Amino acid sequence: MVWIHGGAFVFGSGSSPAFAGEVFARQNVILVTHNYRLGRLGHFAFPALSEEHAEEGTGSYAYMDQIAALQWVKENIAAFGGDPGNVTIFGESAGGVSVHSLLTIPAAKGLFHKAISQSGGGRDGVLTGRPLRENDADRYYPVSAETIGINFARKHGINGTDAVALGQLRALDAAEIIDSGMEFYGEENIPIYTGPVLDGKLVVETAESAYLGGRQARVPLIIGSNSAEVPGGFVNASSKEELWKLFGAMGAEAQAVYDPAGTKELGEVLTKVNTDKVWAEPSHFTAEAWAKAKQAAFVYRFGYVPQVLDQRLVYGAPHASEIAYVFGNLNARWGVDTVTNEDQEVAKIMNTYWANFAKTGNPNGAGVPLWPAYAPRQRQIIEFERGGAAVGKTDTTTTRLDLIRRAVESKELH
Protein backbone atom coordinates (compact mmCIF):
# COMPACT_ATOMS: atom_id res chain seq x y z
CA MET A 1 0.00 0.00 0.00
CA VAL A 2 1.37 3.41 -0.98
CA TRP A 3 0.14 6.30 1.18
CA ILE A 4 -0.17 9.84 -0.22
CA HIS A 5 -0.40 12.36 2.61
CA GLY A 6 -2.76 15.33 2.59
CA GLY A 7 -2.23 18.98 3.42
CA ALA A 8 -3.82 21.00 0.58
CA PHE A 9 -0.62 20.42 -1.47
CA VAL A 10 1.13 23.03 0.69
CA PHE A 11 2.05 21.21 3.91
CA GLY A 12 2.37 17.76 5.45
CA SER A 13 4.81 14.87 5.29
CA GLY A 14 4.76 11.14 4.71
CA SER A 15 6.96 10.67 7.77
CA SER A 16 4.36 11.73 10.35
CA PRO A 17 4.03 9.25 13.24
CA ALA A 18 0.32 9.08 12.39
CA PHE A 19 1.27 7.22 9.20
CA ALA A 20 3.49 4.55 10.75
CA GLY A 21 2.84 1.16 9.18
CA GLU A 22 3.19 -1.25 12.10
CA VAL A 23 -0.50 -2.18 12.27
CA PHE A 24 -0.64 -2.73 8.50
CA ALA A 25 2.47 -4.90 8.77
CA ARG A 26 0.64 -7.13 11.25
CA GLN A 27 -1.96 -7.59 8.50
CA ASN A 28 0.82 -8.78 6.15
CA VAL A 29 0.73 -5.52 4.20
CA ILE A 30 3.85 -3.53 3.31
CA LEU A 31 3.23 0.19 3.75
CA VAL A 32 5.19 2.71 1.70
CA THR A 33 4.98 6.42 2.49
CA HIS A 34 6.76 9.14 0.57
CA ASN A 35 7.08 12.88 0.25
CA TYR A 36 6.31 15.03 -2.76
CA ARG A 37 7.10 18.65 -3.52
CA LEU A 38 4.71 21.15 -1.95
CA GLY A 39 3.60 24.72 -2.55
CA ARG A 40 5.27 26.47 -5.48
CA LEU A 41 7.96 23.79 -5.57
CA GLY A 42 5.17 21.31 -6.28
CA HIS A 43 2.92 23.37 -8.54
CA PHE A 44 4.09 26.31 -10.60
CA ALA A 45 3.59 27.52 -14.17
CA PHE A 46 5.14 30.33 -16.19
CA PRO A 47 4.99 31.03 -19.96
CA ALA A 48 8.71 30.57 -20.60
CA LEU A 49 8.73 27.42 -18.48
CA SER A 50 5.91 25.95 -20.58
CA GLU A 51 7.75 26.78 -23.79
CA GLU A 52 11.18 25.57 -22.69
CA HIS A 53 10.32 21.88 -23.20
CA ALA A 54 6.96 22.17 -24.91
CA GLU A 55 6.73 18.42 -25.47
CA GLU A 56 6.90 17.64 -21.74
CA GLY A 57 4.45 17.95 -18.89
CA THR A 58 4.76 21.08 -16.79
CA GLY A 59 3.25 22.64 -13.71
CA SER A 60 2.35 19.70 -11.44
CA TYR A 61 5.73 18.54 -10.15
CA ALA A 62 4.06 17.03 -7.09
CA TYR A 63 2.35 14.49 -9.36
CA MET A 64 5.64 13.78 -11.10
CA ASP A 65 7.09 12.92 -7.67
CA GLN A 66 4.16 10.64 -6.84
CA ILE A 67 4.53 8.83 -10.15
CA ALA A 68 8.28 8.49 -9.56
CA ALA A 69 7.55 6.93 -6.16
CA LEU A 70 5.19 4.42 -7.78
CA GLN A 71 7.80 3.60 -10.41
CA TRP A 72 10.30 3.01 -7.59
CA VAL A 73 7.82 0.65 -5.91
CA LYS A 74 7.32 -1.26 -9.16
CA GLU A 75 11.07 -1.69 -9.62
CA ASN A 76 12.12 -2.32 -6.02
CA ILE A 77 9.31 -3.53 -3.75
CA ALA A 78 10.01 -7.21 -4.45
CA ALA A 79 13.31 -6.78 -2.58
CA PHE A 80 11.25 -5.97 0.52
CA GLY A 81 8.94 -8.95 0.09
CA GLY A 82 6.26 -6.99 -1.75
CA ASP A 83 4.36 -7.81 -4.92
CA PRO A 84 4.81 -5.20 -7.69
CA GLY A 85 1.68 -6.64 -9.31
CA ASN A 86 -0.51 -5.84 -6.30
CA VAL A 87 -0.09 -2.16 -5.38
CA THR A 88 -2.82 -0.06 -3.75
CA ILE A 89 -2.61 3.73 -3.67
CA PHE A 90 -4.48 5.54 -0.92
CA GLY A 91 -4.59 9.09 0.37
CA GLU A 92 -6.64 11.63 2.28
CA SER A 93 -7.66 15.20 1.39
CA ALA A 94 -4.99 16.42 -1.07
CA GLY A 95 -3.79 12.83 -1.01
CA GLY A 96 -7.29 11.72 -1.97
CA VAL A 97 -7.34 14.31 -4.76
CA SER A 98 -3.99 12.89 -5.87
CA VAL A 99 -5.55 9.44 -6.07
CA HIS A 100 -8.20 10.81 -8.45
CA SER A 101 -5.47 12.43 -10.53
CA LEU A 102 -3.37 9.26 -10.67
CA LEU A 103 -6.46 7.35 -11.78
CA THR A 104 -6.64 9.64 -14.82
CA ILE A 105 -3.02 10.61 -15.62
CA PRO A 106 -1.75 8.50 -18.54
CA ALA A 107 1.79 8.35 -17.14
CA ALA A 108 0.50 6.57 -14.01
CA LYS A 109 -1.21 3.79 -15.94
CA GLY A 110 -0.22 0.31 -14.77
CA LEU A 111 1.67 1.50 -11.69
CA PHE A 112 -1.09 0.48 -9.24
CA HIS A 113 -3.95 -1.98 -9.13
CA LYS A 114 -6.39 -0.67 -6.51
CA ALA A 115 -7.20 2.79 -5.19
CA ILE A 116 -8.66 4.40 -2.04
CA SER A 117 -9.65 8.07 -1.89
CA GLN A 118 -10.44 9.40 1.58
CA SER A 119 -12.15 12.81 1.52
CA GLY A 120 -10.76 13.44 -1.94
CA GLY A 121 -13.89 14.59 -3.76
CA GLY A 122 -14.09 13.58 -7.42
CA ARG A 123 -15.80 16.59 -8.98
CA ASP A 124 -14.26 19.69 -10.54
CA GLY A 125 -13.59 22.73 -8.41
CA VAL A 126 -11.43 21.78 -5.42
CA LEU A 127 -7.72 21.35 -6.24
CA THR A 128 -8.72 19.49 -9.39
CA GLY A 129 -6.57 21.13 -12.04
CA ARG A 130 -6.20 24.82 -12.82
CA PRO A 131 -6.02 25.48 -16.59
CA LEU A 132 -2.51 26.31 -17.77
CA ARG A 133 -3.34 29.22 -20.07
CA GLU A 134 -5.71 32.14 -19.75
CA ASN A 135 -7.89 31.21 -22.72
CA ASP A 136 -8.69 27.89 -21.01
CA ALA A 137 -9.81 29.44 -17.68
CA ASP A 138 -13.17 28.23 -16.39
CA ARG A 139 -15.82 29.08 -13.80
CA TYR A 140 -13.93 27.34 -11.01
CA TYR A 141 -10.54 28.73 -12.01
CA PRO A 142 -11.01 32.12 -13.69
CA VAL A 143 -7.27 32.89 -13.37
CA SER A 144 -4.87 30.60 -15.25
CA ALA A 145 -1.79 28.93 -13.80
CA GLU A 146 0.57 30.91 -16.03
CA THR A 147 -1.04 34.20 -14.98
CA ILE A 148 -0.52 33.26 -11.34
CA GLY A 149 3.12 32.49 -12.12
CA ILE A 150 3.45 35.95 -13.66
CA ASN A 151 1.87 37.45 -10.51
CA PHE A 152 4.46 35.68 -8.36
CA ALA A 153 7.31 36.90 -10.54
CA ARG A 154 6.10 40.50 -10.35
CA LYS A 155 5.85 40.27 -6.56
CA HIS A 156 9.59 39.60 -6.61
CA GLY A 157 10.34 42.40 -9.05
CA ILE A 158 10.63 40.16 -12.11
CA ASN A 159 8.89 41.54 -15.19
CA GLY A 160 8.36 39.93 -18.57
CA THR A 161 7.54 36.32 -19.42
CA ASP A 162 10.54 35.28 -21.53
CA ALA A 163 13.63 33.18 -20.88
CA VAL A 164 15.38 36.10 -19.14
CA ALA A 165 12.52 36.34 -16.62
CA LEU A 166 12.63 32.56 -16.16
CA GLY A 167 16.34 32.80 -15.38
CA GLN A 168 15.62 35.44 -12.77
CA LEU A 169 12.97 33.18 -11.21
CA ARG A 170 15.47 30.33 -11.07
CA ALA A 171 17.93 32.63 -9.31
CA LEU A 172 15.55 33.04 -6.36
CA ASP A 173 16.55 31.00 -3.34
CA ALA A 174 14.26 28.37 -1.86
CA ALA A 175 13.01 30.64 0.93
CA GLU A 176 11.91 33.24 -1.62
CA ILE A 177 10.12 30.60 -3.68
CA ILE A 178 8.36 29.18 -0.63
CA ASP A 179 7.60 32.78 0.36
CA SER A 180 6.35 31.80 3.84
CA GLY A 181 3.60 29.78 2.18
CA MET A 182 1.81 32.90 0.95
CA GLU A 183 -0.88 32.15 -1.63
CA PHE A 184 -2.05 35.76 -2.11
CA TYR A 185 -0.41 39.14 -1.70
CA GLY A 186 -1.29 42.81 -1.53
CA GLU A 187 -4.49 44.55 -0.56
CA GLU A 188 -6.17 43.14 -3.66
CA ASN A 189 -5.36 39.54 -2.67
CA ILE A 190 -3.57 38.80 -5.93
CA PRO A 191 -3.13 35.01 -6.29
CA ILE A 192 0.46 33.74 -6.38
CA TYR A 193 -0.04 29.98 -5.93
CA THR A 194 -1.81 27.67 -8.38
CA GLY A 195 -2.44 24.27 -6.87
CA PRO A 196 -2.54 21.36 -9.37
CA VAL A 197 -2.19 22.42 -13.00
CA LEU A 198 -4.11 21.05 -15.98
CA ASP A 199 -1.26 21.32 -18.46
CA GLY A 200 -2.58 19.01 -21.19
CA LYS A 201 0.58 16.87 -21.28
CA LEU A 202 0.95 15.31 -17.83
CA VAL A 203 -2.49 16.15 -16.43
CA VAL A 204 -4.62 15.86 -19.55
CA GLU A 205 -8.06 16.31 -17.99
CA THR A 206 -9.80 16.58 -14.65
CA ALA A 207 -11.05 13.49 -12.84
CA GLU A 208 -14.67 14.51 -13.40
CA SER A 209 -14.09 14.82 -17.13
CA ALA A 210 -12.39 11.42 -17.24
CA TYR A 211 -15.12 9.75 -15.19
CA LEU A 212 -17.88 11.15 -17.37
CA GLY A 213 -16.08 9.73 -20.39
CA GLY A 214 -15.17 6.40 -18.77
CA ARG A 215 -11.45 7.05 -19.24
CA GLN A 216 -10.26 6.26 -15.69
CA ALA A 217 -7.99 3.38 -14.74
CA ARG A 218 -9.93 0.11 -14.44
CA VAL A 219 -9.17 -0.78 -10.82
CA PRO A 220 -11.31 -1.48 -7.72
CA LEU A 221 -12.03 1.58 -5.59
CA ILE A 222 -12.87 2.57 -2.02
CA ILE A 223 -14.11 6.14 -1.72
CA GLY A 224 -15.83 8.13 0.98
CA SER A 225 -15.88 11.08 3.32
CA ASN A 226 -16.55 12.07 6.89
CA SER A 227 -19.91 13.18 8.26
CA ALA A 228 -18.90 16.75 9.18
CA GLU A 229 -15.89 17.60 7.04
CA VAL A 230 -15.59 21.40 7.43
CA PRO A 231 -17.95 24.27 8.33
CA GLY A 232 -16.84 26.46 5.44
CA GLY A 233 -14.00 27.35 3.14
CA PHE A 234 -15.71 26.27 -0.07
CA VAL A 235 -19.36 27.28 0.31
CA ASN A 236 -19.44 30.34 2.58
CA ALA A 237 -22.25 32.54 3.89
CA SER A 238 -22.72 34.87 6.86
CA SER A 239 -26.36 33.84 7.34
CA LYS A 240 -28.72 31.04 6.35
CA GLU A 241 -30.58 33.44 4.09
CA GLU A 242 -27.38 34.22 2.23
CA LEU A 243 -26.64 30.49 1.98
CA TRP A 244 -30.00 29.68 0.39
CA LYS A 245 -29.39 32.42 -2.20
CA LEU A 246 -26.24 30.60 -3.29
CA PHE A 247 -28.51 27.82 -4.57
CA GLY A 248 -30.21 30.26 -6.96
CA ALA A 249 -33.59 28.98 -8.13
CA MET A 250 -33.20 26.00 -5.80
CA GLY A 251 -32.91 28.16 -2.66
CA ALA A 252 -36.30 27.25 -1.20
CA GLU A 253 -35.66 23.58 -1.84
CA ALA A 254 -32.27 23.82 -0.17
CA GLN A 255 -33.85 25.33 2.92
CA ALA A 256 -36.47 22.57 2.99
CA VAL A 257 -33.81 19.89 2.74
CA TYR A 258 -31.19 21.26 5.12
CA ASP A 259 -33.28 23.22 7.65
CA PRO A 260 -37.00 22.44 7.23
CA ALA A 261 -38.00 23.84 10.64
CA GLY A 262 -35.66 26.83 10.41
CA THR A 263 -34.13 25.96 13.79
CA LYS A 264 -30.65 24.73 12.90
CA GLU A 265 -27.53 26.76 13.60
CA LEU A 266 -25.74 28.29 10.64
CA GLY A 267 -22.63 26.30 11.54
CA GLU A 268 -24.44 22.98 11.24
CA VAL A 269 -26.05 23.82 7.93
CA LEU A 270 -22.81 25.14 6.44
CA THR A 271 -21.00 22.01 7.60
CA LYS A 272 -23.54 19.75 5.92
CA VAL A 273 -23.63 21.75 2.69
CA ASN A 274 -19.82 21.83 2.44
CA THR A 275 -19.54 18.15 3.30
CA ASP A 276 -22.13 17.17 0.72
CA LYS A 277 -20.93 19.41 -2.11
CA VAL A 278 -17.18 18.91 -1.85
CA TRP A 279 -16.92 15.32 -0.65
CA ALA A 280 -20.06 13.20 -0.20
CA GLU A 281 -21.90 13.78 -3.50
CA PRO A 282 -18.65 13.53 -5.51
CA SER A 283 -18.00 10.16 -3.83
CA HIS A 284 -21.34 8.86 -5.11
CA PHE A 285 -20.71 10.44 -8.52
CA THR A 286 -17.36 8.64 -8.72
CA ALA A 287 -18.79 5.31 -7.54
CA GLU A 288 -21.46 5.55 -10.23
CA ALA A 289 -18.75 6.01 -12.86
CA TRP A 290 -17.13 2.84 -11.55
CA ALA A 291 -20.42 0.95 -11.70
CA LYS A 292 -20.91 2.12 -15.28
CA ALA A 293 -17.45 0.79 -16.12
CA LYS A 294 -18.34 -2.51 -14.39
CA GLN A 295 -15.64 -2.03 -11.76
CA ALA A 296 -16.15 -2.63 -8.05
CA ALA A 297 -16.55 0.43 -5.85
CA PHE A 298 -17.15 0.59 -2.11
CA VAL A 299 -18.43 3.82 -0.53
CA TYR A 300 -18.11 4.76 3.14
CA ARG A 301 -19.14 7.54 5.47
CA PHE A 302 -17.09 7.98 8.63
CA GLY A 303 -19.25 9.44 11.37
CA TYR A 304 -17.51 8.02 14.42
CA VAL A 305 -16.81 10.50 17.22
CA PRO A 306 -14.91 9.25 20.30
CA GLN A 307 -16.71 9.64 23.61
CA VAL A 308 -14.17 12.11 24.95
CA LEU A 309 -15.05 14.54 22.13
CA ASP A 310 -18.75 13.82 21.84
CA GLN A 311 -19.78 17.14 23.37
CA ARG A 312 -17.37 19.16 21.25
CA LEU A 313 -17.93 17.59 17.84
CA VAL A 314 -21.68 18.01 17.82
CA TYR A 315 -22.08 17.93 14.04
CA GLY A 316 -20.14 14.72 13.43
CA ALA A 317 -16.66 13.51 12.43
CA PRO A 318 -14.46 16.28 10.99
CA HIS A 319 -11.98 16.28 8.15
CA ALA A 320 -9.05 13.84 8.58
CA SER A 321 -10.43 12.29 11.77
CA GLU A 322 -10.63 8.83 10.15
CA ILE A 323 -6.87 8.60 9.47
CA ALA A 324 -5.90 7.38 12.94
CA TYR A 325 -8.46 4.59 12.67
CA VAL A 326 -7.37 3.53 9.18
CA PHE A 327 -3.77 3.24 10.35
CA GLY A 328 -4.64 1.99 13.84
CA ASN A 329 -2.33 4.64 15.30
CA LEU A 330 -4.75 5.93 17.91
CA ASN A 331 -2.11 7.33 20.23
CA ALA A 332 -0.96 9.68 17.45
CA ARG A 333 -4.43 10.93 16.63
CA TRP A 334 -5.70 14.49 16.78
CA GLY A 335 -5.78 15.94 20.29
CA VAL A 336 -7.00 12.85 22.15
CA ASP A 337 -4.93 11.01 24.73
CA THR A 338 -7.51 8.55 26.06
CA VAL A 339 -8.06 5.47 23.89
CA THR A 340 -11.15 3.41 24.70
CA ASN A 341 -12.08 -0.14 23.79
CA GLU A 342 -14.64 1.29 21.37
CA ASP A 343 -11.92 3.36 19.68
CA GLN A 344 -9.78 0.25 19.32
CA GLU A 345 -12.63 -1.77 17.84
CA VAL A 346 -13.38 0.92 15.22
CA ALA A 347 -9.68 1.06 14.33
CA LYS A 348 -9.46 -2.73 14.06
CA ILE A 349 -12.45 -2.86 11.69
CA MET A 350 -11.25 0.00 9.47
CA ASN A 351 -7.68 -1.24 9.24
CA THR A 352 -8.96 -4.73 8.39
CA TYR A 353 -11.22 -3.40 5.65
CA TRP A 354 -8.35 -1.41 4.11
CA ALA A 355 -5.93 -4.35 4.34
CA ASN A 356 -8.45 -6.82 2.90
CA PHE A 357 -9.10 -4.47 0.00
CA ALA A 358 -5.38 -4.07 -0.69
CA LYS A 359 -4.97 -7.83 -0.86
CA THR A 360 -8.06 -8.79 -2.87
CA GLY A 361 -9.90 -5.72 -4.17
CA ASN A 362 -12.75 -6.45 -1.72
CA PRO A 363 -12.82 -5.06 1.85
CA ASN A 364 -14.96 -7.91 3.17
CA GLY A 365 -13.68 -10.88 5.11
CA ALA A 366 -13.85 -12.72 8.40
CA GLY A 367 -14.57 -10.71 11.52
CA VAL A 368 -15.95 -7.53 9.93
CA PRO A 369 -19.55 -6.50 9.05
CA LEU A 370 -20.61 -6.89 5.43
CA TRP A 371 -19.72 -3.87 3.31
CA PRO A 372 -21.96 -3.93 0.22
CA ALA A 373 -20.51 -2.97 -3.14
CA TYR A 374 -21.99 0.24 -4.52
CA ALA A 375 -24.90 0.00 -6.94
CA PRO A 376 -26.41 3.25 -8.26
CA ARG A 377 -30.03 2.33 -7.51
CA GLN A 378 -29.44 1.02 -3.99
CA ARG A 379 -26.68 3.53 -3.09
CA GLN A 380 -25.43 1.27 -0.36
CA ILE A 381 -22.53 2.36 1.81
CA ILE A 382 -20.82 1.31 5.01
CA GLU A 383 -21.30 3.86 7.77
CA PHE A 384 -18.99 4.08 10.76
CA GLU A 385 -21.55 5.43 13.17
CA ARG A 386 -21.16 7.79 16.10
CA GLY A 387 -21.64 4.95 18.57
CA GLY A 388 -18.91 2.81 17.03
CA ALA A 389 -20.91 0.40 14.86
CA ALA A 390 -20.05 -0.25 11.22
CA VAL A 391 -23.32 -0.75 9.34
CA GLY A 392 -23.98 -1.48 5.69
CA LYS A 393 -27.01 0.54 4.64
CA THR A 394 -28.64 2.66 1.98
CA ASP A 395 -27.21 6.16 2.32
CA THR A 396 -29.67 8.17 4.41
CA THR A 397 -28.50 11.49 2.97
CA THR A 398 -29.58 10.82 -0.63
CA THR A 399 -32.16 13.65 -0.64
CA ARG A 400 -29.42 16.13 0.23
CA LEU A 401 -27.01 14.62 -2.27
CA ASP A 402 -29.58 14.65 -5.07
CA LEU A 403 -30.18 18.36 -4.45
CA ILE A 404 -26.45 19.07 -4.51
CA ARG A 405 -26.04 17.11 -7.72
CA ARG A 406 -28.79 19.02 -9.49
CA ALA A 407 -27.51 22.36 -8.16
CA VAL A 408 -23.96 21.63 -9.33
CA GLU A 409 -24.87 20.17 -12.71
CA SER A 410 -27.27 23.04 -13.45
CA LYS A 411 -24.49 25.45 -12.40
CA GLU A 412 -26.72 27.04 -9.77
CA LEU A 413 -24.09 26.25 -7.10
CA HIS A 414 -20.35 26.38 -7.70
- Which positions of the chain have pLDDT values less than 50? none
Burial class (CB in 10 A: 0-12, 13-18, 19+), 329: buried
User: Is 170 part of any domain?
Assistant: no
CB 169 within 8 A of CB 146: no
Is residue 336 assigned to a domain?
A: yes
Q: What is the DSSP string of 72-91?
A: HHHHHGGGGT--TTS-EEEE
Q: What is the pLDDT, as a whole number, of residue 256?
A: 98
pTM score over 0.85: yes
Q: Could you tell me how many helices (H) and strands (E) the chain has, helices first?
A: 16, 12
**pLDDT tens-digit series, residues 275-311:** 999 999 999 999 999 999 999 999 999 999 998 888 8
φ/ψ of residue 176, rounded to 5: -70, -35
pLDDT at 335: 52
In a domain, residue 55? The reply is no
Active-site residues, by number, are: 93, 229, 319
User: Is 130 part of a structural domain of the chain?
Assistant: no
| Overall domain count for the chain | 1
DSSP-derived letter for residue 302 is E
Residue 333: per-residue pLDDT = 64
* Domain extent at residue 259: 226-414
What's residue 338's pLDDT?
80
Whether 51 maps to a domain, the answer reads: no
Cα angle value 275/281/286 (rounded, 5°): 130
* Residue 37 included in any domain: no
Evaluate whether residue 328 is within a structural domain.
yes
Beta strands at 184-185 and 221-226: parallel, antiparallel or unpaired: unpaired
User: Which CATH number covers residue 261?
Assistant: 3.40.50.1820
For residue 211, being part of any structural domain is answered with no
